Structure 1
Amino acid sequence: MRPRIIQSDGQIGFYWTTPSGTPTSLQKLVEHDDEADRLIATHLEALDDALIIAAERFGEILGGGRAPADAAERDDLLDLHRALDRLCFEYAAATDVTGIKPDLRAGKIVGTAALFSIRARQPLGLLGPAPLDDQLDEPSLGVVGGFGEMQQVDPARPWLGGRWVVRTEAGQRFPLTLSMMMFDSSGVNKDAARREHLEALNSVIEAARSPEADPLAVTCAIDWLLYDWLMAHRDGPDSAEIVFPKGHEQDAAVVVAAAATSVASRATFDPGLVGLGSLRG
C-alpha cells in the first residue's frame, strides 16, 4: 500500500496519511519513500485542485468583491489560509528534504496559494503593516514625478525588508508598487526591477534565520514583498494565476521559499500553525 491523500466533501484542503491510515505530513513521507518525487508531484497537483475549489467557493471575497458575510465565513477564511499555508510549507519542506528544486509549475501553484492566503487574511485583520507604512508621504491627485527605488527599512536589520518608493526632487517619498513600476511608469527597466525585487525578498528570507530576527517583523516584510511580486505577475487584472516571464523560471524557487518563510515565521505566534516551522529541515 502507498500513502494516501484524504479530502472529504466540504473539507478545505487535504492531508496525507501513511499506508496504515495515520495522518502525517509530506515531508515526513518523503524521508523514507523510494518514490519521493511522485509524492511531491501528487501533492502539487492536489494543491492545484484545492485552489480551484477555493476559487469557486471564496472567489468573490478573495477578489475583494465583498467582505465575509458572517462569523461562519470568517472562520472558513481562517481555515482556508491555514490549510493553504500548511500545504505550501509541506511542499517546500519536502523539496528541502529531497533536494528537488521547485520548478516553474510549482512556483505558479504555490504562488497562487500564497496569494489566496494573503487575500484570505486581509479581511480578517491578520496582515501586519507594510514596510515603511508610517514613514511615507501621502501623494496628491495627479501624476507624481520622481524616481522609483527599492528602499530598505534598516540595512542593519535586513529582516525588516523594504519596499518600492517614489523619491521626488523635493525629497518626498511616496508609496510605489512593483505593478505600478511595471505597467504604469515610463522608463522602467522591467528585468532590472524584477531582479532587485527578488534580491530584496531573498535578503529577508536569509535574514529570517538570524536569532535576532523578530518573527512578526519577518512576516510583515515577506508578506508585503511577496504580495507585491505576485500582484505584478498575474495573468491578468482579474486573474490569480501567476505567470513567470520567459527567462525567469528560476524565480519559482524564490516564491516557494518566501511562502514557506512566511508560514514558518507565523507558526511562532499563530495557534493554527504552531509547530510547522520546526518540521522544516
Structure 2
Amino acid sequence: MSSFKTFKAKVVTAAALAASATLALSGCATGNDDAGDKIRIGIKYDQPGLGYQDGKDYTGFDTEVARYVAKELGYNEDQIEWVESPSANRENMLSNGQVDMIFATYSITNTRLKSVDFAGPYFVAGQDLLVQKDNNDIHGPEQLNGKDLCSVTGSTSAKKIQDKFASDVQLVQQNSYSDCVVALNAGMVDAVTTDDIILAGLGSTKANQGQLKLVGNTFTTERYGVGLPKGSDKCGKINAAINKMVETGEWEKALDKSVGESGFKYNQKLNPPKLDNSCSKPTQDSK
C-alpha cells in the first residue's frame, strides 16, 4: 500500500512539473501581453512603393512601417495577415472588425476622426506633379495652363489644381494612377498629379525608372496615419514604435528601399515625424 502511495505521489509531481513547463513556454511565446495569434493589417495592393501585392510578397513603405510596428507590438511577420483595404472601405473595415489597423496612405482628416482613431502620422506627404524626365517647362501647378493633366476618376487632386492654380488646365481622368503613367509615357498627357510619395512609388518601378521625374514642389499637406478602431488603446505604443523606427534609422532605410529608385526627396521640414503618446486630434486645416 505504501509503494502505491509513493507511485501516485510521483505521478502527481510529474504532472505538476509538466503543467508548469507548459505555462512557462506559453508565457514566453510572444513576450507581449498584447499579442495574439494573428494581427490583421490593411494595406493597398496596387500602389507600387507603398502597398503592393506581388504574388505572395507584399512590398512598399506602408508595409515596411507596418512590419516594424507589428514587431514592436510582439508579432512576428508570419503572424501578420495582410488584408486589401480600398480607400472607400477603410472606415467600415475598422468599424466592423475586419482589420486591426490600416497602413494605406490613409490621410488623417477631421471627417475620418469622427469614426476612427489614428496613430501617427508616420509620413507627411504633399500633392506634387510627375512629368517626363526631359520636361523643363513644368515647375509647379502654375505652369499647367493649357496642359493636359491626369488623375484618377473621383480624385479631387486635379480639380484642386484647376480651381486654385491653373483654370485652363485640361483634366484627363483614368481608372488608376498606373493608367495615368502609361498615358504620360506615351505623351498623351503632360503631367500626373497626386501625393508625392505615391508618384515616387510609380516612378520607382522597373518600367519607369529613368523615364519620369517628380517636380518636387508640393502644395498640400497630407498626414498618413495608422487607422485604428474608435476608442483604441494602441496609439501610444504605435507612436513609440514609429519614433523608435526613426531614431534607429530604419524609417529612412525603409523609405529608400521602397521609393529610392525614383530619386525622391521627402520634405525635411515635415519628415520624419516626432510623435507623442496620444492619438491624432482634429486640426483646423484638415478636410
TM-score by length of 1: 0.27
RCO (CA 8 Å, sep 6+): is it higher in 1 or 2?
Answer: 2
- The structure number with the bigger radius of gyration is 2
Larger relative helix fraction: 1
Question: Counting strand residues as a fraction of each chain, which structure ranks higher?
Answer: 2
